Amino acid sequence: MKLKVFVALLALVLAPIIFGSGFGDEIPGTLKRVETLEPGKLSYECEIQTSTKHIKLKVSLQTSNAFMEAELDEGVRVKGFASETFDSKTGSTYYFLQGGSAPYAQQLTLVTREGGSWAEFRKTYSGTAFRCN
């Protein structure tokens, strides 16, 4: 009986971390494109206001080789080559990068359209997603 209770409590704690809570735990932010002089480079800034703090994220992508670099809140920086997927139906290009390890494991997704003039950036960390568009 004690084991069943322990497993049930463990599932309640771990499910939101692994799968997200499913209760709309996506925190929205405003994405702004930053002009750069480097050809083929897209840069964006995202500002998010939560109930407890103001978060400013920066992400840049070199489109020729899908190298992504993101400056995240609290001094965390993630760099690496993102996987790239193109959806010809929508004209969207998806860049996905998973970086770091616990406690800094981050999942970053940048979606672009129209040569980067439209973009959406998502950062998922510990079951909470920050979405900027």
Model pLDDT for residues 72-100, shown as the tens digit of each residue: 877 888 999 999 999 999 999 999 999 87
d(CA 126, CA 133): 21
Report if residue 114 sits inside a domain: yes
Task: Indicate the pTM of the whole model.
Answer: 0.76
Residue with token string 């400056």: 71
Report if residue 83 sits inside a domain: yes
Share above pLDDT 90 across residues of the chain, in percent, rounded to a whole number: 59
Report if residue 11 sits inside a domain: no
Residue 18 contacts residue 37 (beta carbons within 8 Å): no
At 88 the three-state DSSP class reads: coil
Report if residue 6 sits inside a domain: no
d(CA 115, CA 25): 30
Of the pLDDT bands very low, low, confident and very high (cuts 50, 70, 90), residue 50 is confident
Quote the number of domains for the chain. 1
Report if residue 15 sits inside a domain: no
Which one, of 21, 104, 103, 93, lies nearest residue 70 by Cα? 104
Report if residue 78 sits inside a domain: yes
pLDDT at 14 > cutoff 60: no
Report if residue 2 sits inside a domain: no
Report if residue 108 sits inside a domain: yes
Output the six-digit token pair for 59.
């992400």
Domain that holds residue 30: 22-132
pLDDT the model gives residue 3: 53
